Structure 1
Amino acid sequence: MHWSVLGSSRAARVAALAALVVAPIVTSSKAAHAVGTRTFVLDTLDKLSGGDLKGVSVSSDGAVRAGFTLGSAPVPDASASFSALGLSDGSVLVGTSPSGKVYKVVGDAVSLFADTGALAVTSMVQAKNGTIYAATIPDGKIFRLSQGKADVFATLPETSHVWALVLDKAGTGLFAATGPEGKVFRVEPNGSSSVYFRSTESHIVSLAMAENGDLLAGSSGKGELFRITGPGRATVLANMPGEEVKAIAVGKGGVFWAIGNEYGEPPEPPKRSSAAGRTPAGPTSGTKPKPGKGSLMRFDATGRGERMMKHDDTHYLSLVLDEQGRPYVGTGEGGRVYTVDDAHVVTLVADADERQVGALQIANGKGFIATSDPPVVHRIVGRGGADAVWTSKPLDAGLRAKFGTLTWRASGPLEFSARTGNTATPDATWTNWSNPVASPTAIGGAGNRYVQVRARWARDPNAILTEVTVPFVTENVRPVVTEVSAASKGGTTKEPTGNIPASGGDVGKHDSVVKVTWKVENPDNDPLRYRVAFRKEGQTQWRDALKSDDVHTKTELEWDTAALPEGKYRVRIEASDEPANPPDQVQKHALESESVLVDNTPPRIENLQMAGRRLRGRVIDGTSPVARVEVAVDGKLEWRPIAAADGIYDTPEENIDADLSSLVPPGSHIVVVRAFDAAGNSVTRDLETH
């Protein structure tokens, strides 16, 4: 695989891209926006990797390059690939679950190589003498494999899970990572074993041999990374983010890499089903019902760590270094393979249809990717060519649309095609892919809601795509005003919400401002202008509530009614999409409110008199119901309510007939009577008692 751009520094890449031939890009100008033009711009990792990626890579700096071209060899009678081993002849051995079988893949042909009878084959290595060893779960066995045969090589004591194998420095003996007591065993060439290191963790799940002969081990539980320098001698190099150090890979010069996963709690190891004798498909320490979070760490020769990559939407299952020491990580969700450079630029290099990448091997642009759900071995057969195709996800215009000129920003020649349709998932009703073009071209597709774009690296495997632009105009759809509410900001016209209001509560202060609010359905999301008008009930003419030069775009208005005669009014809201459309295409809709009472005049108090300590009178309002009558004695600011003669204030005319003996002591006193209408207007009268 050619990495002339991927392997360079960020500054060099930017400078290189700036000097490349660039296709024109449509941007939304103010004039274009006025006639409703919108634009899909795909220029980030998320946007460019949202569709189907075959033989292409997408990096976090927003660049698409020709990536791995993959073969496909489905593995039968299995649900998961947990381990894989590339042999010198180019074939691949794949360890599976739940049958514990090992398959051999030659090209895209798959055949059974050996059957261990275990639940899963978790790790495989090949000794210098060519012997192949396989670790299994959950019976603590290591098998020696040959064509059509699996012999028990070692059974590790007090062990159920053998998670990982690594050859010793001589390439003849083994080290085995195990659980549930977190031990590392030394296994001699004759199959005898001894405990080499015992941790306080439940499981050691990953192993690697350092250049100097030290053993690197990762745990599940606290996510501890150990350096084991001899029997029983170990130090904790780091606590990885999360609960699990899933895999370790050793580079040159003392550098090594590790992947860790965060699940919220340590993964549950698989167990045999007591009913069926086996667990269901897919058991590993990395398998969870929901994806975890993955981190890739790089450690220098001193053990100093640096996090190079992180994903919050998937955990990591596999890790390998290529011949240049570049890391590749397979995910536990989405079936993807990522790499990262020294500047932390993350690149998606492969996107399989399967859910998990359980094992991989990459060197000199060749190798394989072993996936699960279902298990498939994908050979890496090359880079670029007609099979290197980037396809966007279906882009949703929201409504039926006309799509404009497809343009892109790229270095080197690419071939683009497009298709349109009216279903969220492309089907037979979509248009056919357009003929490939090498320069910007109009898409069309009038009357369709969705568009999809694809690019091929058929002409230049070194071409780099950094941006795709698709302008579109949707059919203009009428905005609809669905609700108009108008209520005075003062008084008692506002409906109570929640609990019943307190009995005898204060009447709100009068306010001549009416708060008008409205709701609008705007399917094509055009900017809207609103016109507000009012009329008095019984009249036919609508009058503007706004100034003639007021372009109102909010869905609310405070309407001051101080200069209006009292009475019942209606408010009409008109929504217009004229800011986004030419005059002959403007759509409008109007809706009027229910009646709103305008009352800026206080009530009157008539025939007010005291007979002894009995107060009588009449309160009259021209528009609103009387809401409250109260009295105060001798200037004290202690207003006490008095009841209506008929027991309830609910009409514009109310009689009062109240015994004030408990409020007004014997003797001469000043009694002030205050009456409110429902709009909060008030009036006071006073009289003197003897």
Structure 2
Amino acid sequence: MKRSFLLSFLLSSTSLFGVKTDSHVFEGYPTLSDGELQGVAVHWDGGIGVGPSLDEGIRPPQGAVIWDLAQTEDGFLYIATGGPGAVYKMEIASGEMKKVLDPDEPLLRAIHVDADGNLYAGTSPEGRVYRVNADDGFPEIYADLESLYIWSIEDDPENEGALLIAAGAPGRIYRLPKDFAPGDEPEIVLDTNAVHVSTFAFSPDGTLYYATGPGGHLLRKRSGGKPETLVELGQGEVREIFPKDDGSVRIAVYRSDSSDTSSSSNSSDNDSDSASPDGLPSGIFDVGSDGFVEILLAGSDEKIFSATLLDNELLIGSDSRGRVYRFQDRFDWSLLAESEDGGEVSKIEAIDDKNAWVATSNPATIHRLSYDPTAKGVFISEVYDAGQKVRWGTLIPVGIQLDSIQWETRTGNRSRPDDSWSEWEALKEQKVASQPGRFFQYRANFETPEAVVRRIELFYQLPNEAPIFRRVEGIPLRLESLPMPPQAPPRSTLPQLFSQNDNDKSSPSMPQPFVIHEDSGWLSIVWEAVDPNDDELRYRVYLRRLDQEDWFLLAEDLKDPFFSLNIAGFDPGFYEPRIQASDRMSNPPNLAKTSETRGNLILIDNQPPTIIPPTPENPLQFTVSDNFSIISSVTFRLEGSESRALLPTDGIFDSKKKTFKLPEEAQEPGATLHIEAADARGNRAAWTGLVTAPEKTDSASDEEPKPESSPAS
């Protein structure tokens, strides 16, 4: 075994190039969402385009948490804070704040402004409702509830001028009628056996939906009927309820990773219920009128902390990084903005159909999210680590209307940008002008809302390194090279193919093996899909050019998760695949489900490079170009000698057109010269000809002729 290993080590082949050109692709939502957003949005399919802007924000004088917001019609915004509990009144035009309520209680989770501009604030753990008069700003204790905690205050849709209050310990919904006065007894609209009623909402037909906790449920109470349990929540907490016209309801659920309750949880000291079922995770869910739950968004490391409706779409706030998302459905959502200070987005309040207040906590800050269709935006990528100091080549974006985007880069040798990094420099004909370094960052300046970036590829050159001997031994053997026996076609599985492109080690429940044939002119589209019910799946495969709107169907009713096609007649360019999966084989037609996804862009290029050979004017210089792919390698052979590699004159393979210079010894007139070139897609071209003599210059032709020799001599 020892000798066999050593022989394989000694006889192993070496790479043709010592200087290696490498590249890194920035593509897909998981990668691009780690960048910095300034008036741009990252869509679920990985596209970057102009989006809403999030201002720097204003911080209240005190308080680490903002729990609730309420805007008045005369240009003021009330802000409920915690740690300590207080209410501030901010003039929107100037940003100036003043404290209007400072109760001696630690928790102030709910505020509300009525039609007359009066402010109502619910405090805990005394269960008091304060009113701040719109005329004189004088605060008073308006109502004392039997419950200790107040979680929400809203208008009563069935009784004009009345207020409804969600409360806890015990869990109830109270009503304060229009003619309510301090000292009156609040009406009990709903009395539950739960510890808390955290939130509620009414559908257009008057149906009441409400959530209890902890270890609670989502319930429905139709007018005149009894409460019906729709969903077991477990340790999940419903933050918002959005009833629909069709009798279904959409809910936003928050659930922390830890079992203990935080300051954001609706709980008191004795509320924990370790025996409660697991329930729902953090996410967005649709609950049908029949009580069946459909998962729309769940499973992310970021938890949903807040939500509101804006122009019939959800705005979602995360529990970390201060992120705001737009959500329409599973295949239509975007990351809109991220607060510079991070923290959780504790409250989102719609201003109108295009703008919203965004409150972040830890630290407490009020931001304004604004939509401007004519606005510009900036995207700053995450820092890329090349692993060592490298020389940077070109930066090639792929997308739509890219001419309106201005690109800049900066580099350094520390993982975080600081004063030691280079300044931002614009690209020069797609070339990175920044100095060599280990770390890299790019900045895209969007000038128009029509531009969309889907893919960015960065080329760089790794330095050549000296060989390292690991072992040298003398072995008493006679060595003789023998031809390698033919090898069988390699076998693989889909997880092994995917692991070549990323670090995803997951595998489907039943890996599908297949044989690989390395035939030219073919493309295989492969994917991985599983069904939660282990249903049998059927697939459809679509493809379209990036610059076209129409999809064309390649195949349908496929059983296997891959499809191969001959692309010899395809127009070159970037293509986008789309896959549909259906479980109709295992379900009745009315219950079958279909989902779809799109893959990363595929470059189809069957055209070989073009070699422009040396000329008498430049006998040592030639050019190789390609219409779509990067030139990746060039070799030459003189008079049947061994092939020798050539680097471009600028030393790096990073563009579609490159100039090369032969060594001086290749200048042998009449010798046979053979040149081969390949592009990044594996297309090859060759040229063979005779080395021509350099063209004589005019000065050489004007030389004085030598005298002829005499016959006598």
TM-score (norm 1): 0.59
Distance 1:173 1:133 in 2: 12
What displacement does 1:300 show? 5.1
Name the residue aligned to 1:218.
Answer: 211
Name the residue aligned to 2:458.
Answer: 470
Matching of residues 176-215 of structure 1 within 5 Å: 176-189=165-178, 190=180, 192-215=185-208
Name the residue aligned to 2:613.
Answer: none
What displacement does 1:480 show? 5.0
Given that residues 242 and 251 in structure 2 are in contact (C-alpha distance below 8 angstroms), is that contact kept between their aligned partners in structure 1? yes
What displacement does 1:143 show? 1.7
Name the residue aligned to 2:155.
Answer: 167
Name the residue aligned to 1:41.
Answer: 25
Distance 1:383 1:544 in 2: 78
Name the residue aligned to 2:663.
Answer: none
The secondary structure found in structure 2 opposite 1:534 is coil
What displacement does 1:357 show? 0.6
Q: Residue type of the partner of 1:152?
A: I
- Is 1:132 equivalent to 2:119 in the alignment? yes
What displacement does 1:372 show? 0.7
- When residues 296 and 241 of structure 1 are mapped into structure 2, their CA distance, relative to the original with a 3 A threshold, is farther
Name the residue aligned to 1:410.
Answer: 399
- Deviations along 1:408-452, whole A, 9 cap, x unmatched? 1222222221111111000011111113x6x95111445300110
Name the residue aligned to 2:62.
Answer: 77
What displacement does 1:219 show? 2.3
Distance 1:478 1:165 in 2: 72
What displacement does 1:473 show? 1.8
Distance 2:123 2:47 in 1: 41
- Is 1:228 equivalent to 2:221 in the alignment? yes
- Deviations along 1:531-570, whole A, 9 cap, x unmatched? xx5316xxxxx9787957779xxxxxxxxxxxxxxxxxxx
Q: Of the candidates 309, 322, 342, which is equivalent to residue 335 of structure 1?
A: 322
Given that residues 152 and 199 in structure 2 are in contact (C-alpha distance below 8 angstroms), is that contact kept between their aligned partners in structure 1? yes
Name the residue aligned to 2:689.
Answer: none
Name the residue aligned to 1:399.
Answer: 388
What displacement does 1:374 show? 0.8
Name the residue aligned to 2:474.
Answer: 535
Matching of residues 613-632 of structure 1 within 5 Å: none
Distance 1:454 1:36 in 2: 26
- When residues 213 and 481 of structure 1 are mapped into structure 2, their CA distance, relative to the original with a 3 A threshold, is farther
- When residues 313 and 107 of structure 1 are mapped into structure 2, their CA distance, relative to the original with a 3 A threshold, is farther
The secondary structure found in structure 1 opposite 2:423 is coil
- When residues 326 and 38 of structure 1 are mapped into structure 2, their CA distance, relative to the original with a 3 A threshold, is same
Given that residues 217 and 234 in structure 2 are in contact (C-alpha distance below 8 angstroms), is that contact kept between their aligned partners in structure 1? no
What displacement does 1:382 show? 3.3
Name the residue aligned to 2:490.
Answer: none
Distance 1:352 1:237 in 2: 36
Name the residue aligned to 1:442.
Answer: 431
- When residues 265 and 212 of structure 1 are mapped into structure 2, their CA distance, relative to the original with a 3 A threshold, is farther
Q: Residue type of the partner of 1:135?
A: G
What displacement does 1:248 show? 1.6
TM-score (norm 2): 0.58
- Is 1:296 equivalent to 2:235 in the alignment? no
Name the residue aligned to 1:428.
Answer: 419
- Deviations along 1:235-262, whole A, 9 cap, x unmatched? 1122347522122234555553211133
Q: Residue type of the partner of 1:137?
A: S
Q: Share of identical aligned residues, percent?
A: 22
- When residues 57 and 78 of structure 1 are mapped into structure 2, their CA distance, relative to the original with a 3 A threshold, is same
- Deviations along 1:308-352, whole A, 9 cap, x unmatched? 2124312222111112x1111111111111122334333111111
- Is 1:369 equivalent to 2:369 in the alignment? no
The secondary structure found in structure 2 opposite 1:393 is coil
* Cα RMSD after superposing both structures: 3.4
Name the residue aligned to 2:540.
Answer: none
My pick for the range that moved more, 246-255 or 174-183, is 246-255
What displacement does 1:81 show? 0.8
Distance 1:343 1:40 in 2: 29
Distance 2:458 2:253 in 1: 40
- Is 1:326 equivalent to 2:313 in the alignment? yes
The secondary structure found in structure 1 opposite 2:329 is coil
Distance 2:634 2:265 in 1: 56
Distance 1:265 1:201 in 2: 22
What displacement does 1:43 show? 1.4
Name the residue aligned to 1:655.
Answer: none
Q: Of the candidates 379, 382, 389, which is equivalent to residue 371 of structure 2?
A: 382
My pick for the range that moved more, 215-224 or 462-471, is 215-224
Q: Number of residue pairs matched?
A: 453
Given that residues 198 and 266 in structure 2 are in contact (C-alpha distance below 8 angstroms), is that contact kept between their aligned partners in structure 1? no
Q: Residue type of the partner of 1:391?
A: I
- Deviations along 1:582-640, whole A, 9 cap, x unmatched? 9899xxxxxxxxxxxxxxxxxxxxxxxxxxxxxxxxxxxxxxxxxxxxxxxxxxxxxxx
Given that residues 425 and 434 in structure 2 are in contact (C-alpha distance below 8 angstroms), is that contact kept between their aligned partners in structure 1? no
The secondary structure found in structure 2 opposite 1:341 is strand
Distance 1:266 1:121 in 2: 24
- When residues 86 and 231 of structure 1 are mapped into structure 2, their CA distance, relative to the original with a 3 A threshold, is farther
The secondary structure found in structure 2 opposite 1:181 is coil
Q: Of the candidates 31, 47, 53, which is equivalent to residue 37 of structure 2?
A: 53
Given that residues 55 and 383 in structure 1 are in contact (C-alpha distance below 8 angstroms), is that contact kept between their aligned partners in structure 2? no
The secondary structure found in structure 2 opposite 1:453 is strand
- When residues 422 and 549 of structure 1 are mapped into structure 2, their CA distance, relative to the original with a 3 A threshold, is farther
Name the residue aligned to 1:313.
Answer: 301
What displacement does 1:400 show? 0.3
- When residues 187 and 545 of structure 1 are mapped into structure 2, their CA distance, relative to the original with a 3 A threshold, is farther
Matching of residues 554-573 of structure 1 within 5 Å: none
Distance 1:86 1:32 in 2: 69
Distance 1:196 1:364 in 2: 32
The secondary structure found in structure 2 opposite 1:346 is strand
> RCO (CA 8 Å, sep 6+): is it higher in 1 or 2?
1
Given that residues 316 and 327 in structure 2 are in contact (C-alpha distance below 8 angstroms), is that contact kept between their aligned partners in structure 1? no
Name the residue aligned to 1:155.
Answer: 144
- Deviations along 1:289-322, whole A, 9 cap, x unmatched? xxx9521113456655422212431222211111
Q: Residue type of the partner of 2:284?
A: L
Q: Residue type of the partner of 2:418?
A: D
Distance 2:465 2:477 in 1: 27
What displacement does 1:385 show? 6.2
- Deviations along 1:627-681, whole A, 9 cap, x unmatched? xxxxxxxxxxxxxxxxxxxxxxxxxxxxxxxxxxxxxxxxxxxxxxxxxxxxxxx
The secondary structure found in structure 2 opposite 1:383 is coil
Name the residue aligned to 1:121.
Answer: 108
Given that residues 197 and 232 in structure 1 are in contact (C-alpha distance below 8 angstroms), is that contact kept between their aligned partners in structure 2? no
The secondary structure found in structure 1 opposite 2:388 is strand
My pick for the range that moved more, 334-343 or 448-457, is 334-343
- Is 1:102 equivalent to 2:87 in the alignment? yes
Name the residue aligned to 1:453.
Answer: 442
Specify every segment of 5 or more residues in structure 1 that has no aligned partner in the other structure, as ranges: 1-30, 271-281, 287-291, 485-532, 537-541, 552-578, 586-690
